[in-house]
Structure 1
Amino acid sequence: MSELDLALVHALQVRPRAAWTDLAPLLGVTAVTLARRWERLSEEGLAWVSAVPGPAFSRRGCTAFVFIRCVPGARERVAGQVARLPEAVTVELVAPGRADLMLDVLAPDLATVDRFVNEKLAAVPDARDLECVFATSLYAEGSRWRLGSLDASQLSVLARSGAVDGATGRVTDLNALDHVLLDALVRDGRARLAELAELTGTSAATVRRRLNRLTASGMVVFRCDVAPAVSGLPVSVTFRGRAAVNDVNRLHRTLATLPECRLLAAVTGTANVLATYWLRDIGSVQQRETAVCAQLPGLEVTERVLGTRTVKRMGHLLDGDGRRVGVCRIRPW
């Protein structure tokens, strides 16, 4: 990975659908160079852009985390089966403990999650024990995570140029056109307007207008994900903890602002805080926990869930090195 590659990925984390001509002056190269770099990164599964639920989803939809204990020797097989289910947007193998798999589940409503857990997951052979907790507040998630390769002046330029013209109006219900667009953009968040127009049988202007409304309403955001070879953070750990109810809303001021934070949620259950961090090595797990608990004495860490391999992340299938190798349809909206 070159410095230009890293800068390009960071720029796309800030503005995932930016035109190459817009990013070229910022990064000091030609648009053609950026297009070629991105094509290589994408083809090698090192980085990809996709549509994901936005902040409005957390108010309308349902986010849950499911922990699965498998029959000994069956967790790889169970992970492969579960990864094909659209409700399980992320599937991670974890170090043996109380669970073998951890799932991120997104669905339009509570009833859909209930059916998923009690009918679909319960029917998976060799899935022995299930625990499901629901997010009551989502303070941080993957679309907000940044690589940290651009300087403050470059980020300022990106912020000033990132406004969407004419992006007004609320989206209360998604129509058939929206679903076709989102299915395509989950696969490739940088799909061109002309390609989307041809796919939907509409005009590029119609596609642009609908996408602007979806993003402005908060129903959809775009995010640039990366393999560990790009992030330099191969270790994923999820801390489950307990804090007084009055303290939970204050915790995010510390936990979510740490640069390694990928996910932070208040959840149901006795352990009412769940936080995922990407770290450089195993030793950093203890260091991070010690630092957090020193700053937040009211937080009791009750469990440390160490990820060993991500099988699926937000609908994208990954190999053993965390590189994207395919896409499995998700439709949380």
Structure 2
Amino acid sequence: MLSETDLEFVHALQEAPRASWNLLAQVLETDARTVARRYVRLRDEGQIRVVATLGPRMLAEAHWAHLRARTLPGQALTVARQLAEWPQAASVRVTDGAFEVYAWLTGLDARTLWRSTQEGIARIPQIVRADMQTVVESLDIGRAERLDVLSARQVAALRRQQVPPTPPGHEATRFSEADAELWRLLADGRMEVARAADHLGRSPSAVSRRIARLQADGYLDFVTMIAEPLSSAPHAALIWCRIDPDELGLLQRHRAELHWAGLLSVATGRSNVMAMANLTTLGSLNAVIAQLRAVCPSVEIHDTQLSAQAVKRHSRMVTDEELWTDEITNPYPDLSRAFE
């Protein structure tokens, strides 16, 4: 379990993933060396990861899909591990229910995503049945849940370090192959600018400016992720439901009330909404469903599934204890082509 000091540090990183050790130390009222050592320990133990992720502009270009697979008896974990090797599988879980494996798929081309998934399914004989749904709108794509440990003053000090978004009407910079390479390097979101610059053959100041520009233009973002079993909501439930199309807008307007939803999407198929709920206890599932009904009265719950084990999250493999590893697959091999 994380100590109170560790929780404060993780919350600080969630608010400012790339803040300097000096700033973090100042906010946490300690010294920079202690903060750096704490990060190395938590990272080496697989408890946290800071990673680069798609910014809003890049998210608008990405395509997403849900995949549920029914397997031969006793083969769910084997199938989940095979799906986790797919580059397009961002997250993979073993679940209860009739479909024992769930995968969140992503890519920059819808046709390629569908074709590669169908071909992959055909190569796994343990899959008895598979159901793939195209996501037509993502209201949330799994941002790390914010802890609530720091004071308002501390949070404000960290948020002042955030890169302001590009003003409306401003022409965004062109995303290049060099930017795609930088994005991949930042799979370790705390990578020092000097190391990235050395790899790219550029000056540290130029790389630092480029990271800030890519963030401001919505191509790049950073997120701090905590190992799920150590979080304040260690249980994950998938809620498959139908909501009247006239009420779908309510999900966006009342998103803050659905704070438990780590993933919220509108998709094709009979169940046109899937919400992944982060639960403090298994018994809180009914309360979560009640909140969803309060926002969208037309909701019809078709199925609920509890996650028995995560095999992959945010394109990273996790251990059997669901701690982070450094094994990562790249679902976006052609990032720069999206903006040609």
- Once the two structures are TM-superposed, the CA of residue 164 in structure 1 deviates from its matched residue by 5.6
Q: Gaps spanning 5+ residues in structure 2: where?
A: 336-340
Q: What is the CA–CA distance in structure 1 between the aligned matches of 2:280 and 2:248, rounded to whole Å? A: 27
- Once the two structures are TM-superposed, the CA of residue 311 in structure 1 deviates from its matched residue by 0.5
Quote the residue 1:22 is aligned against.
23
Deviations, residues 65-111 of structure 1 (Å, cap 9, x unaligned): 1111112221211111111111101111111x231111111100111
Quote the residue 1:311 is aligned against.
311
The aligned amino acid for 1:182 is W
Deviations, residues 106-136 of structure 1 (Å, cap 9, x unaligned): 1001112112221123222312222111222
Quote the residue 1:210 is aligned against.
210
Q: What is the CA–CA distance in structure 1 between the aligned matches of 2:254 and 2:270, rounded to whole Å? A: 21
SS at 1:119 equivalent: helix
Quote the residue 2:324 is aligned against.
324
Is the 2:163–2:216 Cα contact (8 Å) retained in structure 1? no
How many pairs are equivalent? 330
Quote the residue 2:136 is aligned against.
136
Is 1:3 aligned to residue 31 of structure 2?
Answer: no
- Once the two structures are TM-superposed, the CA of residue 144 in structure 1 deviates from its matched residue by 5.4
The aligned amino acid for 2:221 is V
Is 1:75 aligned to residue 76 of structure 2?
Answer: yes
Q: What is the CA–CA distance in structure 2 between the aligned matches of 1:226 and 1:320, rounded to whole Å? A: 15
Q: What is the CA–CA distance in structure 2 between the aligned matches of 1:64 and 1:57, rounded to whole Å? A: 16
Quote the residue 1:113 is aligned against.
113
Is the 2:166–2:217 Cα contact (8 Å) retained in structure 1? no
Quote the residue 1:99 is aligned against.
99
Q: What is the CA–CA distance in structure 2 between the aligned matches of 1:325 and 1:253, rounded to whole Å? A: 36
Going from structure 1 to structure 2, the CA distance change for 1:120 and 1:173 (only over 3 Å counts) comes to: farther
Q: What is the CA–CA distance in structure 1 between the aligned matches of 2:29 and 2:210, rounded to whole Å? A: 32
Quote the residue 1:170 is aligned against.
172
Q: What is the CA–CA distance in structure 2 between the aligned matches of 1:236 and 1:17, rounded to whole Å? A: 28
- Once the two structures are TM-superposed, the CA of residue 149 in structure 1 deviates from its matched residue by 1.5
SS at 1:12 equivalent: helix
The aligned amino acid for 1:25 is Q
SS at 2:301 equivalent: strand
- Write the mapping of 1:43-82 to structure 2, written as runs, cut at 5 A: 43-82=44-83
Q: What is the CA–CA distance in structure 1 between the aligned matches of 2:272 and 2:55, rounded to whole Å? A: 23
Q: What is the CA–CA distance in structure 2 between the aligned matches of 1:290 and 1:70, rounded to whole Å? A: 31
SS at 2:87 equivalent: coil
More off after superposition, 321-330 vs 12-21: 321-330
Please report the TM-score for the alignment, with normalisation by the length of structure 2: 0.90
Quote the residue 2:231 is aligned against.
231
Q: What is the CA–CA distance in structure 1 between the aligned matches of 2:165 and 2:70, rounded to whole Å? A: 48
Q: What is the CA–CA distance in structure 1 between the aligned matches of 2:295 and 2:87, rounded to whole Å? A: 38
Is 1:125 aligned to residue 122 of structure 2?
Answer: no
- Once the two structures are TM-superposed, the CA of residue 171 in structure 1 deviates from its matched residue by 4.5
Q: Gaps spanning 5+ residues in structure 1: where?
A: none
Is the 2:258–2:292 Cα contact (8 Å) retained in structure 1? no
Is the 1:227–1:321 Cα contact (8 Å) retained in structure 2? no
Is the 2:89–2:331 Cα contact (8 Å) retained in structure 1? no
- Once the two structures are TM-superposed, the CA of residue 173 in structure 1 deviates from its matched residue by 4.0
Going from structure 1 to structure 2, the CA distance change for 1:107 and 1:314 (only over 3 Å counts) comes to: same
Q: Percent identity?
A: 30
Is the 1:316–1:324 Cα contact (8 Å) retained in structure 2? yes
Going from structure 1 to structure 2, the CA distance change for 1:156 and 1:309 (only over 3 Å counts) comes to: same
Going from structure 1 to structure 2, the CA distance change for 1:179 and 1:218 (only over 3 Å counts) comes to: same
- Once the two structures are TM-superposed, the CA of residue 154 in structure 1 deviates from its matched residue by 1.9
Q: What is the CA–CA distance in structure 2 between the aligned matches of 1:165 and 1:104, rounded to whole Å? A: 28
CA RMSD of aligned residues (A): 2.1
- Write the mapping of 1:239-278 to structure 2, written as runs, cut at 5 A: 239-278=239-278
- Once the two structures are TM-superposed, the CA of residue 146 in structure 1 deviates from its matched residue by 0.7
Is the 1:78–1:125 Cα contact (8 Å) retained in structure 2? no
The aligned amino acid for 1:190 is R
Q: What is the CA–CA distance in structure 2 between the aligned matches of 1:230 and 1:74, rounded to whole Å? A: 27
- Once the two structures are TM-superposed, the CA of residue 32 in structure 1 deviates from its matched residue by 1.0
SS at 2:186 equivalent: helix
Please report the TM-score for the alignment, with normalisation by the length of structure 1: 0.92
Going from structure 1 to structure 2, the CA distance change for 1:79 and 1:163 (only over 3 Å counts) comes to: same
Q: What is the CA–CA distance in structure 2 between the aligned matches of 1:238 and 1:256, rounded to whole Å? A: 19
Q: What is the CA–CA distance in structure 2 between the aligned matches of 1:182 and 1:253, rounded to whole Å? A: 32
